[in-house]
Structure 1
């Protein structure tokens, strides 16, 4: 019985050894350089024994002799499955890069304008640019003519701006004005936003420039000084004085600019006052807004900021040498 058991054990070892040695020639070559234990080991744990593994320190599939599949271009698609093995590409394009004819970073298949460089937000098409040089020159000439046609408008506004509080007091008797907020220059938008589907056009600033020209003639230095003296009125207005040379030197007079800078309290605010203010229950703060229908037809809005006072709007027309309601 003992002999039978010993025989079966030896037979089992022989069979196991026979199953492990798949390629005896390769095994023999391995044994010449390494011992049996090393040759039958699997250091990289890829299931391919040392004597058969052409990359014993790097795990790889059996079908590639234990070596990892190469990915020459590093795009994550192994060379054997990559139609462009030396150029990085995309899985959905067989490992090849997608065409971008115009070089704008948007693939031709997704580009509405594949041969013209454009923007992602415009589906690969460029924002159309208009040639506005002639338009701007024409607008500039129109504004210059406007200034010449109205070069004496300041004297016409003088009597109106100096007596501007009278139109509010007619409907609000016994009301004292302690503080006036004055709408002044129109600085326009600080940024531009172009939504999808935007149709470009040449944009004129002439309306804004004409308003700025008229408002600086209406609220001239004498008018502001006179208003501040009326029962000690304090005037507040916005004026970005640092932009004078850049944006407004052809609109606002140097005299007015210097006057406003003298009374500035911050980069954006001007406060004009002659003396310390009195505080009584009958004194209010108002905002005055002047709108020009045309240089000789004006809307003036008085908006009380505190107190029980009526809001007043006046439309005034200059006719036969005087302003009439």
Structure 2
């Protein structure tokens, strides 16, 4: 152990002597201002003696005279090695920020088309649009064929078939004070979004609205009112796939009652988290005063909430016969359970049959 200390002392001595020899003038100048002990100290521990260290209180490198290399943008890359010393950037990009020229969320270094907004799945390049071709004519032909098929379909018997479904029967047993009736058709229209036909000219008419009008005809709505106890029914709109109710769609609700042959409908008012909207509803008798509802945080403060809806999606079998995927949505206010059974109905040989069941 003594030998080790001796060697360390000799190494330090010769190191000091070597540095003194390297710059005797600097040591002499330091000693004139300070004492020898201070001049030969290493306060910041960077192994550069005080009299040779231009930054004696900060650890630095010998190459930079004992001072730390500057990093102006604080990105962990010293300025002399930073291609963008004034801008923060990662090491893999030499200290420069990653750039996304076309603003598509894909950095230029990973973008095969850096100046054209594109899709991740296409390496940052835009999806090539297919030729619209005869899309308009094909959609028109499909619509006209569907209309011909709809003429032969008995939607009164479809409603009866749905009402006979065990899942549907459960709904009629639920206690109801006010019933929210959600009406919707899904599909039956043109493609949209970022698909290939987004900017193509589409045929204007949609089979979905035709189906909705035929399903909720005068007879079927009268059956529905009777089966649900002839209570108050308020049609509402919902977000697709969601349960939130939206009021204030006066024209749509008005048109719904007109199309179902129920001219005796009334106008109510809802206060929803402080915001007021109007709505239309039917009632077994003329109300003495306008119906007023209050809702806060998506919950009604003065009624037992029950909702029901039928979503109808046109679908086709391998022979292009039109059928419908029908999803029933109803809530049970006692258990909080919201049921969504879905079944596929087709009209063949004068009757409706369930050809496939779905579990949503």
* TM-score of the superposed pair, with normalisation by structure 1: 0.51
The one of 288, 293, 299 equivalent to 2:352 is 299
Q: Is the 8 A contact 2:158 2:352 kept in 1?
A: no
1:121-176 residue CA offsets vs partner (Å, 9 max, x unmatched)? 5532457899x9x97xx98xx89xx7xx98xx9xx977x699x59x97xxxxxxxx
Gap regions ≥5 residues in structure 2 = 1-10, 173-180, 238-244, 266-279, 285-302, 310-340, 355-360
CA distance in 1, matches of 2:212, 2:186: 11
Q: How many positions carry a matched residue from both structures?
A: 239
If each structure's strand is expressed as a fraction of its own residues, which one has the higher value? 2
- Secondary structure at 1:252 match in 2: helix
Aligned residue in 1 for 2:275: none
The one of 236, 241, 256 equivalent to 1:252 is 256
Gap regions ≥5 residues in structure 1 = 1-11, 169-177, 271-286, 302-325
Matched, 1:78 2:78: yes
Equivalent residues in 2 for 1:12-161, closer than 5 Å: 18-19=17-18, 21=20, 22-97=22-97, 100-120=100-120, 123-126=123-126
CA separation of 1:53 and 1:76: change in aligned 2, threshold 3 A = same
CA separation of 1:225 and 1:64: change in aligned 2, threshold 3 A = closer
CA separation of 1:253 and 1:112: change in aligned 2, threshold 3 A = farther
Aligned residue in 1 for 2:327: none
1:60-95 residue CA offsets vs partner (Å, 9 max, x unmatched)? 011211111112333322222233433444434443
Shift of 1:27: 1.0
Max radius of gyration: which structure?
1
CA separation of 1:257 and 1:48: change in aligned 2, threshold 3 A = farther
CA distance in 2, matches of 1:261, 1:128: 51
Aligned residue in 2 for 1:266: 305
Aligned residue in 2 for 1:8: none
Q: Is the 8 A contact 1:27 1:39 kept in 2?
A: yes
CA separation of 1:268 and 1:48: change in aligned 2, threshold 3 A = same
Aligned residue in 2 for 1:215: 215
- Secondary structure at 2:216 match in 1: helix
CA distance in 1, matches of 2:57, 2:79: 21
1:10-45 residue CA offsets vs partner (Å, 9 max, x unmatched)? xx9997863452421111111122211111111111
Shift of 1:59: 0.2
- Secondary structure at 2:28 match in 1: helix
CA separation of 1:290 and 1:180: change in aligned 2, threshold 3 A = farther
Aligned residue in 1 for 2:273: none
CA distance in 1, matches of 2:105, 2:342: 53
- Secondary structure at 2:352 match in 1: strand
- Secondary structure at 1:268 match in 2: strand
CA distance in 1, matches of 2:85, 2:342: 74
Q: Is the 8 A contact 2:235 2:253 kept in 1?
A: no
CA distance in 2, matches of 1:127, 1:247: 39
Q: Is the 8 A contact 1:54 1:66 kept in 2?
A: yes
If each structure's helix is expressed as a fraction of its own residues, which one has the higher value? 1
Aligned residue in 2 for 1:273: none
CA distance in 2, matches of 1:13, 1:210: 97
Shift of 1:58: 0.9
Shift of 1:256: 8.3
